[in-house]
Amino acid sequence: MLSTGLLQFGAFNLGETVQPFRINLDLLPSYPEVLHHITTLSDDLLKNVHYDHFLSTTDAIPFGVALSLHTSKPLVYSRGGKLSPAYDLVG
């Protein structure tokens, strides 16, 4: 993940906190092998968890779609707008 730029180190402002690293999920579609590997690992972690849907942030939509297709579970995601939560979700 380091060589792809998916895992980045520095000072990243997230609201009122500063994080020393971030995972740049926007880049996942550029690395299909990594996306497939992360999707498979995530599915293994979720084997004993009951869930009906996945909920994704905007930057994680590619990962959410991959996991949704891999598990045949529906994906719900935010449009990222300023609408109230009931009207902002898609899916």
Residue-wise pLDDT tens digits, 32-91: 999 999 999 999 999 999 999 998 888 889 999 999 999 999 999 877 667 666 666 776
Q: How do the domains of the chain map onto residue ranges?
A: 25-90
**DSSP code per residue over 5-30:** TSEEEEEEEETTEEEEEEE-GGGGGG
Q: Phi, psi at residue 89, to the nearest 5°?
A: -80, 145
Q: What is the pLDDT, as a whole number, of residue 48? A: 93
pTM across the whole model:
0.77
Q: What is the pLDDT, as a whole number, of residue 29? A: 92
Q: What is the pLDDT, as a whole number, of residue 25? A: 86
User: Which residue would you say has higher pLDDT here, 39 or 14?
Assistant: 39
Overall average pLDDT of the 13-17 stretch: 86
Q: Is the pLDDT of residue 24 over 70?
A: yes
**DSSP code per residue over 58-89:** GGGHHHHHHHHHHHT--EEEE--SSS-HHHHE
